[in-house]
Amino acid sequence: MIDLTIANNVAELTLNIPDKLNALDDAALAELGSRLQEAQSAGVRALLIRGEGRAFCAGRDISAVDPGTDDALAFLKDSFGPVMRMLADFPAPTFAAAHGACLGIGLGLLIATDVVYVAEGAKFGSPFANLGAVLDSGGHSLFFERLGAHRALDLIYTGELLSGAEAVAAGLFSRAILDAELLDFARSKATAAASGATQAFLASKSLIAQLREDRVGLWESVAAENVEQERLRTTADYREGFAAFQQKRKAEFTGE
């Protein structure tokens, strides 16, 4: 259901439930969490998450959910929440290759990923208007922050979807790529990151998280950058980067 392959210091996680557009239930989320833990334990230096078939992830699998007995809070808070947090906190650069439907908790997985490359024909938005439900998994925060209140509520009220190209143009994600080229492109970027200065990347990941979560101001962020730069000065990759520059050669980073 959730496949994990590791090669060249890159973990590739594949949501492999194509007959359900990779919609996820409690069991699939538990498996995804286990695979993330395996990748972390393997000490990979980059992670790529993608979906098999026609979609990245169409959201929660509600095909057998009875609203009368369902515990939506438990599903979102206890089943999906820890997985979303685990992905966001993964100790290496993370990438996503998103195509087709990217909705609900599928959108949440992308929100938790560092760098999101999307197919031009991917679909993003809030389909919940047709369910009598509310956009979840961080969707309100993403849409409000990037699109503003009016456009966010427009998407929510109408249920209309943005294409991948439109989503990137609006600032939601990293880059829009031709559908047929998406996976190769994302793999190449993840592989390149896995041979980079991992500790420096993680410092930037932490600084960006501080800006997003704590809403720190310019000078507080500058101060945090200064501290990280001094810390990185003692790492092997920092020394290698300076030596390579001075010797006019390509740096060979080890992630140390």
pLDDT, one tens digit per residue, over 27-52 is 999 999 999 999 999 999 999 999 99
What residues have CB less than 8 Å from 49, skipping those under 6 apart?
12, 13, 14, 15, 87, 94, 95, 96, 97, 109, 113
pLDDT, one tens digit per residue, over 140-156 is 999 999 999 999 999 99
pLDDT at 130 over 90: no
Per-residue model confidence (pLDDT) at position 142: 95
Average pLDDT over residues 85-114: 97
Residue range 2-194 forms a domain whose CATH class is alpha beta
Per-residue model confidence (pLDDT) at position 131: 85
Q: How many CB atoms lie under 10 A from the CB of residue 153?
A: 15
**β-pairing, 123-125 with 115-119?**
unpaired
Confidence band for 129, pLDDT divided at 50, 70 and 90 = confident
State the burial class of residue 20 (Cβ atoms within 10 Å of its Cβ: 0-12, 13-18, 19+). middle
Average pLDDT over residues 195-222: 93
Locate the domains of the chain by residue range. 2-194, 198-246
Per-residue model confidence (pLDDT) at position 181: 97
Mean pLDDT computed over every residue of the chain: 95
Chain centroid to Cα 183, Å, comes to 15
H-state helical runs in the chain: 26-41, 72-74, 81-88, 105-111, 139-158, 164-169, 182-194, 198-214, 218-232, 236-246
Query: What is the DSSP-derived secondary structure letter of residue 253?
Result: -
* Better-predicted residue by pLDDT, 129 or 77: 77
Q: How many CB atoms lie under 10 A from the CB of residue 76?
A: 17
CA distance 256 to 246: 20
